[in-house]
Amino acid sequence: MSTDAAPTWPAEFADRYRAAGHWRGETFGGMLRRRAEAHPDRIAVVDPVAGHRWSYAELDRRADRLAAGFLARDIAKGDRVVVHLPNVAEFFEVIFALFRIGALPVFALPAHRETEIRYFCEFTGAVAYVISAEHAGYDYRELAARTRAEVPALRHVFVATGDPGGFESLADVAEAPAGAPADVAEEPAGGDGPRPHELAFLQLSGGSTGVPKLIPRTHDDYIYSLRGSNEICGVDENSVYLCALPAAHNFPLSSPGSLGTLYAGGRVVLCPRPSPDAAFPLIERERVTVTGLVPPLALLWIAAAPGTAHDLSSLDVLLVGGAKFSEEAARRVGPALGCTLQQVFGMAEGLVNYTRLDDPVETIVTTQGRPISPDDEILVVDDEDHEVVPGMTGHLLTRGPYTIRGYWNAPEHNARSFTDDGFYRTGDIVRVTTTGHLVVEGRAKDQINRGGEKIAAEEVENHILAHPSVHDANVVAEPDPYLGERVCAYVILRPGADPLKALAVKRFVRERGLAAYKIPDRVEFVDAFPQTGVGKVSKKDLRAAAAGGTPLSPGT
């Protein structure tokens, strides 16, 4: 499978973004090398569980050695490698090693299970899969063994932390045999190393279709989003970023996240779990200055902060995003945590909006921010793609220097998700205020946002439909006071099928090897689905029923 299967920016746009100084011709490999040369002894990554405190020089050296080991195992430029790691220091060693050789990390989340991982490996034609032995009570080696048995093209499984079992440990890979090709490109010097305009990695889309889509990001575009984010969030070499959300997700990775912090020469502290009991002691000990949370976690922190014995006074900025943060909760951040709130409305496809640190409080608590770049183009349109009157609500379309022009190897999706002139259809319903800030008013895409975790309704429906007793299924969001939304499945059984319990449907989906957050929170059995005027299933009516908590048809 070719890696040029990613649509890219037309030359006139690329030229403009370069001329504007957005794309500066840096690569991730080069960026780490420069920082290691400038301040070798400064701490880059702290992994409190393993007790690692890696300096920039150490991270740089480790990335080089691992890159040499990967090359010696025939992992080459353009190859895809599924990276499935929790918040451990080795995450950075692995991704910088891959960046150096131009192999593409495919970022899986710790919650992903067999179904997702098999799909990522198969669809990307991955040559390697990197795991931790265990995390949060789950044995990833068993998952790797099953995946390897089913995906013959997967040549390697590397275990980054813990007992490797029958697989190769990352430490062994890094012990590259003498004479191995250690000729690792740190800069795009003209050889066949990674070039700034080429792909750096594949990120996952939240998705609204049966299978997740992959998001091709380049060195140039992603590094621009880091630089822009750092400026807006005040991240510099004195910043200490607590990575509390899963490190591979776009928000903690780049908004400004761990990569933004490393770009600035600051320090990244990895938090094994995002709960206050794990995070607060680390904030105190490491003098954390900035972190990012999804709304349900922000609520937990707000509740826990007033009673904590830990000193949180170093925290300057809390970023909250991934899902809509309510105005009431937003107002409580400052008083409870003693820091400035920045709302962030972003997407792995590109566009990221932030409230500014010096915005009036009313703007910070009532909007989801404005774009990073003066070259981010924002269109708000009606159902026919006509621009709405300024200030009115409509579909958000966007184009710009760090927003992709298409998904990886997905021409059919691209025809639907992008306009002919390259605008990405975000699926979000927004309005723009007179100050240019965006307010998220809803969502048109068939997705559930479960406290920041995105679930494509169609994907879950397909799994439920695989049950022999199920005739039809529809999955919608139902409101939840803590998560914002939960997953509600409406199911019609086959005539004459044995009666099924809600629990059995949930178990069936779980046993198909799906991430836990996608398993329906509630299953309702109904006789029929409400229909629209043209006879399609009305998800709008199903959502309304889910919000009311009442079954749709009596006696079911």
Residues forming the site for ligand OOB (CB under 6 A): 206, 250-251, 255, 321-324, 343-348, 352, 368, 426, 428, 440, 443, 449, 454
For the chain, what is the radius of gyration of the CA atoms?
23
Q: What are phi and psi of 261, to 5 degrees?
A: -65, -40
CA atoms 313, 316, 319, 325: torsion sign: positive
Residue whose CB is less far from ligand OOB, 29 or 451: 451
Residue whose CB is less far from ligand OOB, 252 or 265: 252
Strands 168-169 and 199-204 turn out to be unpaired
In the DSSP assignment, the letter for residue 531 is B
Residue whose CB is less far from ligand OOB, 289 or 417: 417
H helices then E strands: how many in the chain?
A: 18, 27
Minimum distance from CB of 481 to ligand OOB (Å)?
A: 17
| Tally of CB atoms within 10 A around 4 | 11
Residue whose CB is less far from ligand OOB, 67 or 456: 456
Residue 397 in contact with residue 423, Cβ under 8 Å? yes
Q: Name the 3-class secondary structure at 288.
A: coil
Would you give the end-to-end CA distance of the chain in angstroms? Answer: 48
**Token pair for 306:** 């007033």
> Which residues fall within 8 angstroms of residue 374, CB to CB, at 6 or more apart?
none
Rounded to whole angstroms, how far apart are CA atoms 259 and 250? 10
Residue whose CB is less far from ligand OOB, 161 or 449: 449
**Token pair for 307:** 């009673």
Minimum distance from CB of 235 to ligand OOB (Å)?
A: 14
Residue whose CB is less far from ligand OOB, 267 or 324: 324
Rounded to whole angstroms, how far apart are CA atoms 357 and 362? 12
Minimum distance from CB of 127 to ligand OOB (Å)?
A: 26
Rounded to whole angstroms, how far apart are CA atoms 520 and 473? 12
Minimum distance from CB of 142 to ligand OOB (Å)?
A: 27
**Token pair for 154:** 């997967």
* Residue least distant from ligand OOB (Cβ): 346
Residue whose CB is less far from ligand OOB, 48 or 105: 105
Residue whose CB is less far from ligand OOB, 47 or 428: 428
Minimum distance from CB of 250 to ligand OOB (Å)?
A: 4
Rounded to whole angstroms, how far apart are CA atoms 136 and 553? 40
Minimum distance from CB of 527 to ligand OOB (Å)?
A: 33
Q: Can you say how many angstroms the Cα of residue 100 is from the centroid of all Cα atoms in its chain?
A: 22
Residue whose CB is less far from ligand OOB, 12 or 383: 383
In the DSSP assignment, the letter for residue 118 is H
Minimum distance from CB of 293 to ligand OOB (Å)?
A: 11
Minimum distance from CB of 348 to ligand OOB (Å)?
A: 4
**Token pair for 279:** 């995070």
Minimum distance from CB of 487 to ligand OOB (Å)?
A: 16
Minimum distance from CB of 230 to ligand OOB (Å)?
A: 14
Rounded to whole angstroms, how far apart are CA atoms 273 and 503? 28
| Tally of CB atoms within 10 A around 116 | 22
Residue whose CB is less far from ligand OOB, 25 or 427: 427
- The label of the residue with tokens 């959300």 reads 245
